[in-house]
Amino acid sequence: MKVLRLVIVGYGNIGRGLVETLAEKRSSLKKGGLDVKVVAVCEYSGCIVDESGVDLKRLLKEKPRWGKRKTLDVINEVDADIVVELTPGDIKSGEPGLKHIRAALESGKHVVTSNKSPLVVAYGELVKLAEDNGVMLKFEATVGGAIPVLNTLDRELKSNKARNVYGILNGTTNFILTKMLEEGVDFKAALLEAQTLGLAETDPTYDIEGIDSAAKVVILANSLGMDVKFKDLKVVGITGVTPEAVDLAKEHGYTIKLVGDIAAKEVSPRLVPLDHPLNVGGSLNAVLVDTDVAGEITLIGAGAGPRETSSAIMSDINAIAEKT
């Protein structure tokens, strides 16, 4: 039985979603020869540490009693294989995730993260840090939610060279554009509905201006070996998309989608034919990988959601388990 000891940093929606999945899948993972043991869970208020394994079911049931040890100390001191960094990040500084990931890699621990910001701010530095310390840095959950796009590229399409990757990388804007197409409402009405349903933040800037998609383009581009920074991108959001434009597109057999494009280094609303693989409705994400052998492969799935995202995190944990 292979044992992987996890430190989970960040116990918000995503962290809780992961703990739920780990609790649910504990016995099936063990049947597959893998014992995933959570030895610490950290929040800004403190950490719960138990090197014999935190009782996940109890953690989920009761109000957590956060101990006084600080996250960075726990990352440095606790005997663990993987630090799973799931805090929300500041897109400009990358913090607090950046210092967590640095500390984890420097102390010889693999890192799995759903946190885009540290990668957007310091991709090259972090990849080098991982290499220098002989550990893995995995971030499937930062791009495309539940869709295992990075690991599929890395493993199942290994003999392929990806010429480009582009697609719908933000579920909120896709929900809004789908509403506009299907119900003929304008941008504001569709945004309001997204907010009512909890699909858009009170301040929706990050999504509707294309910033979230752009962060994902940066990560995808770098994962393909390009040195692309946020400032290198041309970013246009969806606030200028009118019902008239949507109607006109529809009349000609098209829909309008916010597309992030690695090769073009841009995020912008684009016309997409109705039977094109990228025309997916609701809040789905869709990523098209243009490869030299397999041709165009598209992967579609939920772009967000704590449970769905935990699948991407598990994909990284399993990949580390197989390689170690």
- Contacting its own copies within 260-279 (CB under 8 A): 273-277, 279
- Contacting its own copies within 179-198 (CB under 8 A): 181-182
DSSP reduced 3-state for 147: coil
Name the minimum Å distance from CB 90 to its own copies. Answer: 28
158 binds its own copies (CB under 8 A): yes
220 binds its own copies (CB under 8 A): no
| Interface pick for its own copies out of 13, 107, 160, 239 (rule CB under 8 A) | 160
302 binds its own copies (CB under 8 A): yes
301 binds its own copies (CB under 8 A): yes
| Total chain residues near its own copies (CB under 8 A) | 53
| Interface pick for its own copies out of 13, 23, 25, 99 (rule CB under 8 A) | 25
- In this chain, which stretch among 95-103, 189-197, 214-222, 311-319 interacts with its own copies, using CB under 8 A? 311-319
147 binds its own copies (CB under 8 A): yes
| Residues 6+ away with beta carbon under 8 Å from 35 | 1, 2, 3, 4, 29
The dihedral sign for the CA sequence 27, 30, 32, 38:
positive
Residues in the chain: 324
| Interface pick for its own copies out of 13, 107, 133, 152 (rule CB under 8 A) | 152
Asked about 216 being catalytic, the answer comes back as yes
Name the minimum Å distance from CB 97 to its own copies. Answer: 23
Distance, CA of 299 to CA of 153 (rounded, Å): 11
Catalytic residue among 109, 179, 216, 265: 216
284 binds its own copies (CB under 8 A): yes
| Interface pick for its own copies out of 30, 58, 128, 155 (rule CB under 8 A) | 155
DSSP reduced 3-state for 250: helix
Looking at beta carbons only, is 105 or 199 nearer to its own copies?
Answer: 199
- If phi > 0 it is left, if psi is from -120 to 50 it is alpha, else beta; for residue 83 that is beta
13 binds its own copies (CB under 8 A): no
- In this chain, which stretch among 42-50, 126-134, 201-209, 313-321 interacts with its own copies, using CB under 8 A? 313-321
107 binds its own copies (CB under 8 A): no
- The candidate with the shortest Cα–Cα distance to 10, out of 77, 96, 78, 68, is 96
| Residues 6+ away with beta carbon under 8 Å from 18 | 8, 84, 86, 306, 309, 310, 313, 314
Looking at beta carbons only, is 5 or 265 nearer to its own copies?
Answer: 5
Radius of gyration of the chain (CA): 20
| Residues 6+ away with beta carbon under 8 Å from 301 | 144, 145, 146, 147, 284, 285, 308
Is 58 within 8 Å of 92 (Cβ atoms)?
no
Distance, CA of 274 to CA of 283 (rounded, Å): 16
Distance, CA of 278 to CA of 288 (rounded, Å): 7
Binding site for its own copies (CB under 8 A): 21, 25, 28-29, 32, 146-148, 151-152, 155-161, 178, 181-182, 255, 273-277, 279-281, 284, 286, 291, 293-302, 305, 307-308, 310-312, 314-315, 318-319, 322
Catalytically active residues are 216
